[in-house]
């Protein structure tokens, strides 16, 4: 029987293998439908991971200058930048990522993200989270 760490690593590896194809698709896809804050979230996968967790992938598009406020997740997130440059704030640090780079965000870690460029940016967010919980928990 595989350990949870091995299963999580396998899920993450599969997600990252799919990312280059999604990056190409990001260049030719239908324009995203942004909310009033300039964020578009498109869920691409949701499957049971085990009896307590599920694996979810979401494409997140940010309009120029758009930001997602401080929040956390009830499980881990791996953010892979499909296009553009994004700036994260986590643990008092600023982390700048460009297309092709990724960030591991531990369960419960409060973080925020901002498009610091002049073009729409896209990322693929892969979550392994507790079932029946909101994916995003806004910080107070």
- DSSP, collapsed to helix, strand or coil, labels residue 46 as strand
DSSP 99: T
31 secondary structure, DSSP code: P
Give the span between the Cα atoms of 63 and 34, in whole angstroms.
7
Q: Do residues 136 and 71 make contact, with C-beta atoms less than 8 angstroms apart?
A: yes
pTM for the structure as a whole: 0.77
- Looking at residue 30, its pLDDT comes to 73
**CA geometry: angle at 24 spanning 67 and 76, to 5°?**
50
- pLDDT (0 to 100) of residue 31: 79
Per residue in 72-102, pLDDT tens? 999 999 999 999 999 999 999 999 999 999 9
| Contact (CB, 8 A) for 54 and 11 | no
pLDDT of residue 140: 87
pLDDT digits (tens, 9 = 90+) for 24-60: 554 556 778 999 999 999 999 999 999 999 999 999 9
The 10 Å Cβ neighbour count of residue 3 is: 8
Q: Is the pLDDT of residue 15 over 60?
A: no
Say yes or no to pLDDT of 115 above 90: yes
52 token code pair: 């307590």
Domain spans, the chain: 4-138
Q: What is the pLDDT of residue 73?
A: 95
Fold exhibited by the domain 4-138: Jelly Rolls (2.60.120)
């Amino acid at each position: 029987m595989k350990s949870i760490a091995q299963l999580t690593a396998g899920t993450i590896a599969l997600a990252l293998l799919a990312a280059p194809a999604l990056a190409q698709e990001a260049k030719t896809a239908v324009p995203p439908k942004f909310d009033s804050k300039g964020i578009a979230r498109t869920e691409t996968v949701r499957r049971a991971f085990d009896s307590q967790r599920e694996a979810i992938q979401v494409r997140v598009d940010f309009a120029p200058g758009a930001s997602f406020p401080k929040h956390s997740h009830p499980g881990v997130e791996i953010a892979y930048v499909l296009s553009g440059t994004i700036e994260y704030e986590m643990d008092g640090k600023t982390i700048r990522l460009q297309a092709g780079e990724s960030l591991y965000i531990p369960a419960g870690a409060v973080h925020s993200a901002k498009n610091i460029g002049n073009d729409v940016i896209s990322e693929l967010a892969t979550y392994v989270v507790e079932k029946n919980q909101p994916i995003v928990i806004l910080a107070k």
